[in-house]
Amino acid sequence: MPVFPRRARSLSLTPPTAICGMIANVAGECGRLCNFAWQIAKEDAMNKVLEKIKGHPHVGQGTAYAILFTMGTCHLLNDMIQSVIPAIYPLLKDRYDFTFAQIGVITLVFQLTSSVLQPFVGRYADRRPRPYSLSAGMCFTLVGLLALAVASDFLLILLSVALIGCGSSIFHPEASRVAQMASGGRKSLAQSIFQVGGNGGSAFGPLLAALIVIPYGQHAVGWFAIAALLASTLLFRVGGWYSLVLAGQRAGSRVRQAVASAMLPAKTVRTAMWILVLMIFSKYFFNACMTSYFTFYLMEKFGLTVQQSQYCLFAYLAAFAAGTLLGGFLGDRYGRKYVIIFSILGAAPFTLAMPYLDLSWTIVMAVISGLIIASAFSAIVVYATDLKPDKVGMIAGIFFGLMFGLGGIGSAFFGWLADLTSIEFIFEISTWLPLLGVIALFLPDVRPIKTDR
């Protein structure tokens, strides 16, 4: 009889601890199993989301208009964001009591990251193309916008604009490569569709900044992150198509192009490149004067109000955008060299007449000049890439970098000169710049010739 109480006591003491241990082990295993299942479900859901975003890209024959218009839309969103930065300088200066020197440093950092880096990014992309780098680059812009919305001191603002500038440096060279890949041989048209999106974005950016950021303050900059997110999503879909094109190139399944420039002497190619750089100088110094000081000229000479002068500037910018698209059609039909000569030198009679006309004819001449001179850029970029067909990204980076850099330098130069002289004087000086287009006559005639495999 005394055995049972001892067994009873042992049975009544040990089971609770053993059962608790078993329950703890089972709970731990269940927790690990649930966590593993959650990770699998999360990865599966993420893969499904990425597949949805990527879509079902395919590579067809001819011009890929869907890709071109997508790239044009992304260029619009990118350049719209870029143009917001200078538009909010007055807000930043008033809020943080910045000096003009500090505003200049912000501009310097922004220009260095958004323009100077482009040739190096393009050179890397030529050697090691990354289909999804466009989407990743737009994420730099996204982070930069969110950081700028909450930045509270000078250094954080510099870091924010540097991130936005890096996003632009990644975007332009690689996007130009994609546009040419999607051209189906109509390179000038493809570059024009891509470029007209950028022109539209540059025009809309300051307007949206005036409607969103100026009334609601610095934090409203964060709303532009929606545009960056949309662009990143679209570029991720383009990345799927881009990867298929690269795979086809590696397999040797694409139509190759023999370019006449491959037979040109190196000295001739270098000379042609310097002529094109001078063309960019002529075009963007003139355009910098028009976009920055045309409104002041109209107000001072004809007594227009600020609002009226802005309408006139919008007419010029609209003609500029239309001319960009027109240059693409003409470049493919008649040759890039002749479009370059016409678009720069052909604008000279109209620009030279502007300072001596009344208000109505001044506006008419400005619109015609913008329409003609804008057709040059896509032809210049495509002509340059025909000279160096194996370095499309680097060449596009150089010329987009020059576009941004010379535009900023031209605006600063004409502002300095206006302080020393007058608005009317700098306007008269700028109208002579298109005459530099005469040196385009010395460009060699380069025409791409398609050959079969």
pLDDT 10s digit of each residue in the chain, 453 long?
Answer: 455 454 444 444 445 555 556 655 655 665 565 565 555 544 554 444 445 444 444 445 567 888 889 988 999 999 888 888 877 877 888 888 887 677 777 877 887 788 777 888 887 877 787 888 888 889 999 999 999 988 888 899 999 999 998 888 888 888 888 888 888 877 777 878 888 888 788 777 777 877 888 788 888 888 999 999 999 999 998 888 888 877 766 555 444 444 444 566 778 888 888 888 888 888 888 887 887 788 888 888 888 887 778 788 878 878 887 887 777 777 777 777 788 878 777 888 898 999 898 899 999 999 998 888 887 777 787 788 778 777 777 887 788 777 777 777 777 788 788 888 888 898 888 889 888 878 888 888 765 544 443
23 domain residue, yes or no: no
| Domain, as residue range, for 225 | 61-249
Whether 220 and 367 share a structural domain: no
Whether 275 and 226 share a structural domain: no
Whether 383 and 445 share a structural domain: yes
Q: Which of 249, 280, 301 is the last residue of a domain?
A: 249
46 domain residue, yes or no: no
Alpha-carbon distance 173 to 177, whole Å? Answer: 7
CB within 8 A of 156, min separation 6: which ones?
A: 147
Residue 376 contacts residue 402 (beta carbons within 8 Å): no
CA distances, 344 to each of 31, 157, 333, 393, 431 (Å)? 71, 38, 18, 25, 12
Q: Which of 249, 267, 289 is the last residue of a domain?
A: 249
Whether 296 and 214 share a structural domain: no
CA distances, 275 to each of 55, 431, 439 (Å)? 43, 20, 7
340 domain residue, yes or no: yes
Whether 222 and 337 share a structural domain: no
206 domain residue, yes or no: yes
Whether 229 and 269 share a structural domain: no
Closest to 176 (Cα-Cα) out of 399, 447, 333: 399
Whether 290 and 216 share a structural domain: no
| Buried b or exposed e, range 402-419, using 16+ CB within 10 angstroms | bbbbbbbbbbeebeebbe
Residue 140 contacts residue 88 (beta carbons within 8 Å): no
Q: Total structural domains in the chain?
A: 2
Alpha-carbon distance 277 to 103, whole Å? Answer: 28
Whether 208 and 263 share a structural domain: no
Whether 268 and 196 share a structural domain: no
pTM for this one?
A: 0.66
Q: Which of 223, 249, 275 is the last residue of a domain?
A: 249
Containing 22, the helix (H) or strand (E) segment is helix 3-54
31 domain residue, yes or no: no
Strands 448-450 and 257-259: antiparallel
66 domain residue, yes or no: yes
| Buried b or exposed e, range 251-287, using 16+ CB within 10 angstroms | eeeeeeeebebeebeeeebeebbebbbebbbbbbbbb
146 domain residue, yes or no: yes
Whether 288 and 148 share a structural domain: no
Residue 352 sits in a domain whose CATH number is 1.20.1250.20
Whether 229 and 317 share a structural domain: no
Give the dihedral of Cα atoms 348, 351, 356, 361; nearest 10 deg: 120
Residue 103 contacts residue 197 (beta carbons within 8 Å): no
CA distances, 9 to each of 2, 17, 37, 102 (Å)? 11, 14, 43, 84
105 domain residue, yes or no: yes
Whether 263 and 386 share a structural domain: yes
